[in-house]
A and B are shown apart, each in its own frame.
Chain A
Amino acid sequence: MTKSTANGQSKRGAVLALVEEKYRKPAKELKPFEIGDQVEVHQRIQEGSKERIQIFSGTVIARRGSGTREYFTVRRIVQGEGVERKFPLHSPKLARIVVKRSGRVRRAKLYYLRDRVGKATRLREGRKVIVEVLGDEGAKSTKAKQS
């Protein structure tokens, strides 16, 4: 197979990227959050005609996939029970992601946290500079609540 214009094989990746581009969030919004970070995920929930924001906070233990299909997993302990939620990174339903604390970790998937209880689930503090707010929409209202 050659690179001729009629041949789709060489263009396939480019076409996928082209289609997905419109549905992706800008890279600068997403760059700073990493595996091991303590985050708050602000999710838009539709209730009838009203929309409200629900917050899920926990540790990012995995990022998976590429393009618009990328998602990340957040783990937290609720009443002694481990709860994990997966969020599509580029979903418009994700209002914003706030990094509360950065963790220093040595692997890309923190599945070992599932076997740990209590104090052992803590991660060492990581980067000193934390970009706190990712995503712009709904930023004002939540900021007010925090302060």
Chain B
Amino acid sequence: MTLGLLGRKMGMTQIYDDKGLAVPVTILELGPCTVLQVRTKERDGYEALQLGFADKPRRLAIRAERGHVARIESKRNKARQAGGATLEPKANCEPKRYIREFRLAEPASQKVGENLTVNLFENVAAVDVIGTTKGRGTTGVMKRHNFGGLGASHGVKRHHRAAGSQSGHATDRGNSGKKKKGKRMAGRYGNERVTVKNLKVVKVDPENNLLLVRGAVPGFSTNFLMVRPTNKRRKTIIYQSAPSKKAKK
């Protein structure tokens, strides 16, 4: 329920901290994000901010997308205005490629059209990153569910990566020989929404709209991401160069 930012993964590298130790970091380009809509309890049933990130050429945006970010002349709008209806405020910006909402506990103080930058994470010690993992297509159970597979030798033939037995005659579903519901098997893997929690913020660079976090985030480089301050408390802080977590509280 905290406000975060939208951005994209730029890739991973390695930097050195003040002790001279190598730190594996992911570079995230965060913001500037434009507030496209403010959701309110009275109107929408919940409090949230809708943010947009990365411009999309107007020729590629459909009319609805263009109308979402800026006022477009239309008969309907004219009729509504003539009828005395107040039109929703618009951000007056380019159409956005990546639009997501952040649910909030309190009514938002931001207005439509405001720009949010990575300064938001100035005093944040750790973040959660939400993104889509790399799609792996059809995979077996060893890759998808970390099954052990069968033996490499001792008479095992052509079943080295097999799942093994799926059910017996007497399972929880009666003496039917039916498989249990939700039995883990081979199939599509990846290309799903994943949240990586509690990644330490290594550096905030407002000048270039960059955020450096320790460790990996989901998906390929240039993948779109949602980033928010974590709601987890870091148990052990390995090394801290950013402002302390006390500042966060």
Interface residues of A (CB under 8 A from B): 2, 4-9, 11-12, 15-16, 18-20, 22-23, 44, 67-69, 88, 90-93
**Which 10 pairs, one residue from A and one from B, show the smallest C-beta to C-beta distance?**
A6-B55, A92-B20, A6-B54, A93-B20, A23-B15, A8-B222, A15-B10, A69-B14, A8-B8, A68-B14
Whether the pair A15, B55 counts as a contact (CB closer than 8 A) is no
Q: Say yes or no: A19-B29 contact (C-beta < 8 A), given A5-B55, A6-B55, A68-B16.
A: no
Give bound CA distance, A16 to B25, whole Å.
11
Known: A6-B54, A12-B222, A23-B15. 8 other contacts (CB 8 A): A6-B56, A8-B29, A9-B222, A15-B11, A18-B208, A19-B212, A68-B13, A91-B22
Q: Say yes or no: A23-B16 contact (C-beta < 8 A), given A4-B55, A12-B10, A15-B29.
A: yes
Among A7, A8, A90, contact of B16 (Cβ-Cβ < 8 Å): A90
- Grouping DSSP codes into helix (H, G, I), strand (E, B) and loop, the A interface class, with mixed when no group exceeds half, is loop
Among B13, B22, B54, contact of A19 (Cβ-Cβ < 8 Å): B13
Contacts of B210 in A (CB 8 A): 15, 18-19
Chain A nearest CB from B51 CB (Å) reads 14
Q: Can you list 13 residue pairs at the A/B interface with Cβ under 8 Å?
A: A5-B55, A6-B55, A8-B8, A8-B10, A9-B222, A12-B10, A15-B27, A16-B11, A16-B27, A18-B208, A20-B15, A68-B15, A68-B16
- Grouping DSSP codes into helix (H, G, I), strand (E, B) and loop, the B interface class, with mixed when no group exceeds half, is strand
Interface residues on B, range: 20 to 34
* Most A Cβ at <10 Å: residue of B15, B27, B212: B15
In this complex, what residue of B is CB-closest to A13?
B11
Contacts of B25 in A (CB 8 A): 19
Among B14, B16, B97, contact of A6 (Cβ-Cβ < 8 Å): B97
